């Protein structure tokens, strides 16, 4: 009789045991994963931000088209201390233009984001209007082909939404976009 | 210094030669007019405060939901939490990094030592898991902006047939396995890539995914939480912990009167109806049944592993190195005049076939191993689903399936015992 009673109760006891066992496994795995990761998780040095390595960038033009933002967070920036201040600028004028004037058909930038200011003979200072720049990289291609490479593309930290997977990085032809820690949030040339 | 222009013209000849990598073709100008270089600064917004607020809100909202469903048994606070979550985590913080996507970062950090995991991402992953272990899926209830968005538009719960929910219920697990496979092979973060709601929160993005998200939202007006139940890989993970959680959601403290109102109120089919198992099984039959399980389950697992491993070549196509390798091999076999952007970058940067082949082989080896493990896990999911279908348990009362319960709290107000 006693045995029969035990048998009747046993499924309940078994379920309770299984539940307890499950809780122990779940709690244990939480502790194990935390323990495994606590040494690796970092605050400041963690690679959270996306940035372009200008040495690798081939100006394929996908930064303009593949960013999740309506206007790409990639902008051209200008290293004045690298610039040659040339009159005939490969990033400002299209190649083989007939006349060197500021008519739109002669200029490289499709949105007119690059302006220049006369400094002294024969130097011109080039400035980029970030609001107009769409990150197409045409001027960068011109400047790195014919000039000092002072124009280059960077992801602006104030515009980038820090997607967990950068959509441009998935299509970047030269793997120039990688995760970087905050200390190298920009890879500047000057 | 007038020769600057001449050199410029000369160098335009270089264009025919191709892209040159020379830097400093022109010397630094020595200005005579006292020109000063403009001061350029690039802003780096300080995110520390926002991240801290994210974590604080995550903890606060989850605690609030836990208090509401376990102590107070009321749904009202959850609606407020949902609205806050959709507004803050969804539209304001535009959804990245979310807990669902953080699975991939954590998996990558566990396998790959070179990846440094941000502490905020770790917390986003771990806190909901810990809360699920303590109180059930309080994160899903309304703190997750995806769940909250679906909950807020839900009006009616048309019940799907059990066959459909069981079949669709396997998708999150399989999705989770694929997400892990592609994350630890450094191929892609597919959860982030195919996120249906991020486009809605950001008011822009891939049009196909936005359409999918809108479709899901329209579906969730009539069927409770289709994304959470049939797609979300993080929900699948949390259900494991919620199943064995320490404190559990209970509809009422008073005795159940089997009125079945809660069963009809539940949007996620988490309340099981009473069932009278008429099949009387002797001990020997029971042992035989378990023996069958013990034979069939490993068979399905091994079959899954073999099947997935045989497809590892195709699976690896998502990886960028593999894509590039295929392109280069195609080009070497049949050289074209016009190079694609990828090939131009590869040859332009002096990449060699040997290096690429080495990288390709490493990726393939990775995929052979991890695809087999993934296949085994998929086999396990399918096998356990089949076994769970064959299990018959006698229930005398309506019972909550704590793995499926998302702690939305809809049942509380329907329970007549709560009102007295």
Q: Work out the pLDDT band at B414, boundaries 50, 70, 90.
A: very high
Rounded mean pLDDT of chain B? 89
Tokens encoding B412 = 């509380």
Determine, for residues A186 and B42 on separate chains, whether the beta-carbon distance falls below 8 Å. Answer: yes
Q: Indicate the number of domains in chain B.
A: 2
**Two tokens at B375?**
């296949």
CA distance B132 to B402: 10
H helical segments located in chain A: 2-38, 62-66, 138-146, 167-171
What's residue A7's pLDDT?
53
Residue B342, chain A, CB below 8 Å: the answer is: yes
pLDDT bracket for residue B18 (50, 70, 90): very low
Furthest-apart CA pair in chain B: how many Å? 103
What is the tens place of the pLDDT at every residue in B274-283? Answer: 998 888 888 9
Residue B173 domain-assigned (yes or no)? yes
Q: Using CA atoms, how far apart are residues B202 and B199, in angstroms rounded to an integer?
A: 5
Q: Give me the residue spans of the domains in chain A.
A: 1-41, 49-184
Which among B70, B59, B57 is positioned nearest to B246, based on CA atoms? Answer: B70
φ, ψ dihedrals at B128, nearest 5°: -60, -30
Which of A158, A170, A190 faces B45 most closely, judged by CB atoms? A158
Interchain contact B101–A (C-beta under 8 A): yes
B345 touches chain A (CB under 8 A): yes
B34 in a structural domain: no
pLDDT at B123 over 60: yes
Query: Are residues B237 and B346 located together in one domain of the fold?
Result: no
Question: Residues A39-87: pLDDT tens digits?
Answer: 778 777 777 889 999 999 999 999 999 998 889 999 999 999 899 898 8
Q: Let me know whether B214 and B230 are in one domain.
A: yes
**B320 with A170: Cβ contact below 8 A:** yes
User: Does the beta-carbon distance from A145 to B20 stay under 8 Å?
Assistant: yes
If asked whether residues B375 and B232 sit together in one domain, one would say no
Residue B82 sits in the same domain as residue B212: yes
Antiparallel, parallel or unpaired: β A151-155 and B399-400: unpaired
Shared domain for B273 and B354, answered yes or no, is no
Residues of chain B with Cβ-Cβ distance to A161 below 8 Å are 94, 96, 202
Residues within 8 A of A (CB atoms), B 9-68 only: 9, 11-12, 14-15, 19-21, 23-29, 31-33, 35, 37-38, 40, 42-45
Evaluate whether B6 touches A88 at the Cβ level (below 8 Å): no
Question: Which residues of chain B from 280 to 299 reach within 8 Å of chain A, CB to CB?
Answer: none
- Residues B104 and B185: their CA atoms lie apart, in Å, by 11
Beta bridge partners of B118: A42
B377 φψ region: left (φ > 0), alpha (ψ -120 to 50), beta (else): alpha
What is the pLDDT confidence band of residue B22, given thresholds at 50, 70 and 90? Answer: very low
Which of helix, strand or coil describes residue B324? helix
Neighbouring CB atoms inside 10 A of B40's CB total: 14
Q: Give the pLDDT confidence of B201-257 residue by residue, as tens digits.
A: 988 878 899 999 999 999 999 999 999 999 999 999 999 999 999 999 999 889 999
**Alpha-carbon torsion angle B68, B71, B74, B80, nearest 10:** -10
The reply to whether B213 and B64 lie within a common domain is: yes
Mean pLDDT within B31-57: 88
Residue B32 is predicted with a pLDDT of: 86
Of residues B167, B95, B164, the one with CA closest to residue B124: B95
B343 and B318 in a common domain:
yes
On chain B, the residues whose CB falls within 8 A of the CB of A37 are 106, 109-110, 117, 122, 126
Question: Rounded mean pLDDT of B88-99?
Answer: 87
Query: What pLDDT shows up at residue A48?
Result: 81
Region A3-20: mean pLDDT is: 68
CB-nearest to A146 from B12, B188, B241 is: B12
Residue B375 phi/psi, 5-degree rounding, is -60, -40
CA distance A109 to chain B (A): 18
Express each pLDDT in A77-134 by its tens digit: 999 989 989 888 889 998 888 887 888 888 999 999 999 999 888 899 999 999 999 9
pTM to 2 decimals?
Answer: 0.90
Verify whether the Cβ–Cβ distance A80 to B40 is below 8 Å.
Answer: yes
Q: B126 and B270: one domain? A: yes
Query: Under a CB-based contact definition with an 8 Å cutoff, are residues B152 and B83 in contact?
Result: yes
CB spacing of B31 vs A158 below 8 angstroms? no
Q: Which long-range contacts (CB under 8 A, 24 or more apart) does B45-48 make?
A: B45/A157, B45/A158
- Cβ <8 Å between A40 and B117: yes
**Do the chains contact at B129 and A30, CB–CB below 8 Å?**
yes
pLDDT tier, B367 (very low <50, low <70, confident <90, very high otherwise): very high
Backbone angles phi, psi at B415, to 5 degrees: -75, 115
- Does one domain contain both B186 and B269? yes
Same domain? For B116 and B232 the reply is: yes
Chain A residue whose CA is closest to B240 = A26
Which residues 114-153 of A have a C-beta within 8 angstroms of B? 119-123, 125, 127, 141, 144-149
Token couple for B337: 């005049």
Q: How confident is the model at residue B23 (pLDDT cuts 50, 70, 90)?
A: low
Is A88–B205 a contact, with Cβ atoms under 8 angstroms apart?
A: no
Averaged pLDDT, A165-185: 90
Q: What is the ipTM of this complex?
A: 0.86
Is residue B55 situated within a structural domain?
A: yes
Residue B118 forms part of a structural domain? yes
Taking CA atoms, B135 is separated from B21, B52, B95, B227, in Å, by 60, 23, 24, 22
Domain of B325 in residue numbering reads as 283-390
Cβ-Cβ contacts under 8 Å, B345 against chain A = 58, 60, 173-174
Q: Residues 77 to 106 of A: which have CB under 8 A from any B CB?
A: 77-78, 80-82, 84-90, 95-96
The pLDDT of residue B393? 83
């Amino acid at each position: 009789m006693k045995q029969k009673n035990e048998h009747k109760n046993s499924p309940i006891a078994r379920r309770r045991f299984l539940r307890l066992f499950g809780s122990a496994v779940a709690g244990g795995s939480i502790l194990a994963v935390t323990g495994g990761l606590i040494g690796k998780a970092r605050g400041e040095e963690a690679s959270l931000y996306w940035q372009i390595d200008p040495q690798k960038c081939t100006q394929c033009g996908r930064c303009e088209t593949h960013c999740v933002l309506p206007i790409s967070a990639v902008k051209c920036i200008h290293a004045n201390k690298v610039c040659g201040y040339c009159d005939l600028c490969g990033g400002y004028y299209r190649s083989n233009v007939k006349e060197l004037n500021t008519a739109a058909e002669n200029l490289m930038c499709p949105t007119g984001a690059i302006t220049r200011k006369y400094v002294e003979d024969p130097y011109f200072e080039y400035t980029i209007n970030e609001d107009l720049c769409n990150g197409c990289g045409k001027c960068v291609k011109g400047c790195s082909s014919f000039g000092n490479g002072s124009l280059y593309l960077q992801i602006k930290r104030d515009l980038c939404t820090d997607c967990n997977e950068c959509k441009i990085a998935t299509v970047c032809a030269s793997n120039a976009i990688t995760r970087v820690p905050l200390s190298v949030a920009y890879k500047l040339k000057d | 210094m007038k020769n600057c222009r001449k050199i410029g013209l000369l160098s335009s000849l270089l264009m025919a030669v191709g892209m040159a990598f020379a830097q400093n073709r022109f010397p630094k100008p020595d200005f005579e007019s006292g020109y000063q270089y403009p001061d350029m600064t690039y802003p780096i917004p300080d995110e520390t405060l926002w991240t801290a607020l994210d974590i604080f809100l995550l903890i606060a909202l989850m605690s609030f939901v836990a208090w509401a469903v376990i102590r107070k048994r009321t749904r009202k606070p959850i609606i407020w939490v949902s609205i806050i979550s959709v507004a803050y985590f969804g539209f304001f913080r535009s959804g990245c990094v979310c807990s669902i996507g953080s699975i991939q970062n954590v998996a990558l950090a566990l396998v790959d030592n070179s990846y440094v995991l941000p502490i905020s991402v770790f917390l986003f992953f771990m806190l909901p898991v810990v809360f699920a272990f303590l109180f059930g899926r309080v994160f899903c209830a309304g703190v997750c902006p995806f769940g909250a968005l679906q909950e807020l538009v839900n009006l009616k719960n048309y019940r799907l047939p059990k066959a459909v929910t069981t079949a669709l219920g396997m998708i999150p697990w399989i999705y989770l396995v694929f997400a892990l496979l592609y994350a630890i092979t450094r191929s892609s973060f597919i959860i982030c890539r195919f996120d249906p709601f991020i486009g809605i929160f950001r008011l822009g993005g891939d049009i196909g995914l936005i359409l999918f998200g809108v479709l899901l939202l329209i579906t969730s007006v009539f069927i409770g939480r289709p994304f959470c139940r049939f797609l979300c890989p993080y929900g699948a993970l949390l259900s494991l912990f919620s199943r064995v959680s320490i404190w559990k959601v209970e509809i009422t403290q008073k005795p159940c009167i089997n009125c079945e109102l809660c069963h009809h109120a539940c949007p996620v089919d988490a309340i099981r109806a009473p069932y009278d198992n008429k099949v009387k099984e002797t001990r020997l039959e029971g042992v035989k049944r378990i023996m069958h399980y013990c034979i069939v389950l490993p068979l399905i697992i091994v079959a899954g592993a073999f099947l997935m491993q045989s497809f590892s070549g195709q699976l690896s196509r998502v990886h960028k190195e593999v894509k590039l390798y295929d392109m280069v091999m195609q080009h070497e076999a049949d050289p074209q005049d016009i190079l694609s952007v990828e090939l131009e970058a590869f040859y332009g940067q002096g990449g060699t076939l040997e290096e690429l082949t080495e990288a390709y082989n490493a990726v393939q080896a990775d995929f052979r191993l991890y695809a087999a493990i993934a296949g085994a896990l998929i086999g396990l999911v399918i096998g356990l689903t089949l076994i769970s279908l064959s299990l018959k348990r006698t229930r005398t009362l309506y019972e909550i399936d704590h793995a499926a319960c998302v702690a939305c709290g809809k049942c509380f107000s329907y329970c007549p015992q709560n009102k007295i």
